[in-house]
């Protein structure tokens, strides 16, 4: 089907991926360098019977997305750093209420307004730690326009499977560049499990087993559930004074993601190119393009995760133990902190490269040589 091969911007491919994944609701607020996603959604959604709404800010955008998800519709928003910061309270609400939703963050340079039109990977830790409290999310990082399409679909799928907010942690490099993309039609689309319509649900929010994902009693189907961001018991009712309820609830919210770390990594995939070398390069997202090129020249091993969160320390250990590891990021050091936990910190090195562009392959090679020699 030649008509499904396109030459698109990463942001456009992301919007197409969302629609292929079944997204029928988008609420957003424009922000560079993510705006093209909203723009394409505003054009495409009405074509497929979906709704685009531009909200008054990012807080409202994620709220509306969560509302739409409880109305039973797959929903997404897209933003960049400043908007992502504003969404943090609702990231936590989505985690607490186990609402599937997808948040795209096309990273630009920060802190603050920073470099609005330039690339960065400095919201990597924020994606996991940006909201208060104990929670976990899923975050995937694309390196190509094709992956902007594919990983958006994966975000929806994991979000629906686990009832967690999923973050497409993109960056301006992949968001703005154009490449060939195959808009596959045969994509696997996962839909949240629903209870039977009209069924009264005894325990919509069971506390156990500790990694359980309960079916989602979306609104308007007669379940008459109460959904709250307060600590809640199995019935969904506020139970803010009971330490055991809180402990079990947050443990389940975290474990349903943590315990599936390997499964997510295996299913989404990663690049591991093993070469005869003491040196392994690690990179992700737009920056990985440089690193793959440099590694080839260096004859070094490369690990390119697509799953950023949950971090799988065992997998990283398994793959990279014994190497001198150079992590290359467009920031002053974020993913590297997780790698340091997994490996012997002394063997882990960082090429932190903020400034708006990925380092050139030459820059990476120079750094690799410095470490090795």
Partner 1 sequence: MDWRELIRWERMPHILCPGCGNGTILNVLVRALAEKFEEGELDPDKTVLVSGIGCSSRLPGYVKLDSLHTTHGRPIAFATGLKLANPELEVIVVTGNGDAAAIGGNHLIHAARRNLDITVICSNNYVYGMTGGQASPTTPQGAKSTTTPYGNPEPPFDLCELVMGAGAPHVERWTTAHPHQLKQAIHRALEREGFSFIDVLSQCPTNYGRRNDMRSPREMLEWLRENTSTEDEPGKIRIGVLRDEERKPFHERVYELVEEVSGDEEGG
Partner 2 sequence: MKREVRISGFGGQGIVLAGVVLGRAAAVYEEYNAVQTQSYGPEARGGASRSDVIISDEEIMYPYVREPDYLVAMSQEAYDKYAPEVKEDGLIVYDSTLVEPHRDDDVEHVGVPATKLAEEELGRRIVANMVILGALRELTDLVSEEALKRAVEDAVPPGTEEINVKAVELGARGVRE
Ligand X SMILES: Cc1ncc(C[n+]2csc(CCOP(=O)(O)OP(=O)(O)O)c2C)c(N)n1
CA neighbor of 69 nearest in space, from 147, 160, 175 = 160
Task: State which residue, 214 or 355, has the beta carbon closest to a second copy.
Answer: 355
**From the list partner 1, partner 2, a second copy, none, which binds 200 (C-beta under 5 to 8 Å, kind-based)?**
none
Which residues touch 233 (CB under 8 Å, ≥6 apart)?
205, 207, 239, 242, 245
Task: State which residue, 62 or 148, has the beta carbon closest to a second copy.
Answer: 62
Q: Which of residues 244-273 bind a second copy (CB under 8 A)?
A: 244, 246-247, 250-251, 253-254
Under the criterion CB under 8 A, does residue 55 sit at the interface with a second copy? no
Q: How far is CA 69 from CA 15, 156, 284, in A?
A: 17, 12, 29
**From the list a second copy, ligand X, partner 1, none, which binds 134 (C-beta under 5 to 8 Å, kind-based)?**
a second copy
**From the list ligand X, a second copy, partner 1, none, which binds 189 (C-beta under 5 to 8 Å, kind-based)?**
none
Which residues touch 271 (CB under 8 Å, ≥6 apart)?
288, 292, 302, 303, 304
Please, what is the minimum distance in Å from the beta carbon of residue 33 to partner 2? 7
**Would you give the binding string for partner 1 spanning residues 186-205, x where CB under 8 A is met?**
------------x-------
- Separation between Cα atoms, residue 52 and residue 40, nearest integer Å: 10
As a whole number of angstroms, the longest Cα–Cα distance in the chain is 68
Q: Which of residues 50-89 bind ligand X (CB under 6 A)?
A: 58, 82-83, 86
Contact between residue 298 and residue 372 where contact means Cβ atoms under 8 Å apart:
no
Under the criterion CB under 8 A, does residue 107 sit at the interface with a second copy? yes
Under the criterion CB under 6 A, does residue 31 sit at the interface with ligand X? yes
Q: Name the token pair of 256.
A: 């349903």
Under the criterion CB under 6 A, does residue 22 sit at the interface with ligand X? no
- Our CA dihedral for 277, 279, 283, 286, rounded to 10 degrees, sits at -70
- Separation between Cα atoms, residue 10 and residue 362, nearest integer Å: 25
**From the list ligand X, partner 1, a second copy, none, which binds 126 (C-beta under 5 to 8 Å, kind-based)?**
a second copy
Q: Which of residues 55-74 bind partner 1 (CB under 8 A)?
A: 55-60, 63-73
Task: State which residue, 129 or 237, has the beta carbon closest to a second copy.
Answer: 129
Contact between residue 31 and residue 82 where contact means Cβ atoms under 8 Å apart:
yes
Q: Residue 312: which region, alpha, beta or left (left: phi > 0; alpha: psi -120 to 50)?
A: beta
Which residues form the interface with a second copy (CB under 8 A)? 59, 80-82, 84-86, 88-89, 92-93, 95-97, 107, 109-118, 120, 122-123, 125-126, 128-135, 228-231, 240-241, 243-244, 246-247, 250-251, 253-254, 331-332, 337, 340-342, 344-345, 353-357
Which residues form the interface with ligand X (CB under 6 A)? 29-31, 58, 82-83, 86, 113
């Amino acid at each position: 089907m030649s008509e499904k091969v396109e030459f698109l911007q990463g942001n456009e491919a992301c919007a197409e991926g969302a629609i292929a994944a079944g997204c029928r609701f988008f609420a957003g607020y424009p922000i560079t360098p993510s705006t093209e996603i909203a723009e394409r959604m505003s054009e495409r959604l009405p074509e497929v019977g979906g709704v685009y709404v531009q909200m008054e800010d990012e807080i409202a955008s994620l709220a509306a997305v969560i509302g739409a998800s409880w109305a039973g519709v797959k929903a997404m928003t897209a933003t960049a750093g400043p908007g992502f910061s504003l969404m943090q309270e609702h990231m936590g609400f989505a985690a607490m209420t186990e609402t599937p939703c997808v948040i795209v963050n096309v990273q630009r340079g920060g802190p603050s307004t920073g470099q609005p039109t330039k690339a960065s990977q400095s919201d990597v830790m924020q994606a996991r730690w940006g909201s208060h409290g104990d929670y976990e999310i899923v975050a995937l990082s694309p390196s190509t326009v094709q992956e902007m399409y594919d990983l958006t679909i994966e975000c929806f799928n994991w979000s629906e499977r686990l009832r967690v907010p999923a973050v497409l942690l993109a960056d301006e490099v992949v968001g703005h560049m154009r490449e060939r993309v195959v808009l596959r039609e045969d994509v696997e689309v996962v839909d949240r499990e629903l209870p039977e319509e009209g069924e009264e649900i005894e325990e919509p929010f069971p506390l156990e087993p500790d990694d359980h994902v309960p079916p989602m009693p979306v609104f308007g189907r007669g379940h008459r559930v109460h959904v709250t961001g307060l600590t809640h018991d199995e019935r969904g009712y506020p139970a803010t004074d009971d330490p055991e309820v809180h402990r079990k609830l947050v443990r389940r919210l975290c474990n349903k993601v943590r315990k599936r770390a390997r499964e997510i990594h295996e299913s989404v995939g990663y690049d591991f190119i093993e070469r005869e070398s003491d040196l392994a390069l690690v990179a992700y997202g737009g920056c990985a393009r440089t690193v793959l090129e440099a590694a080839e020249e260096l004859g070094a091993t490369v690990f390119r995760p697509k799953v950023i969160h949950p971090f799988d320390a065992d997998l990283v250990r398994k793959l990279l133990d014994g190497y001198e590891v150079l992590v290359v990021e467009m920031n002053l050091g974020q993913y590297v902190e997780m790698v340091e936990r997994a490996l012997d910190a002394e063997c882990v090195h960082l090429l932190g490269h903020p400034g708006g562009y990925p380092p050139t392959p030459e820059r990476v090679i120079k750094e690799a040589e410095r470490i090795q020699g």
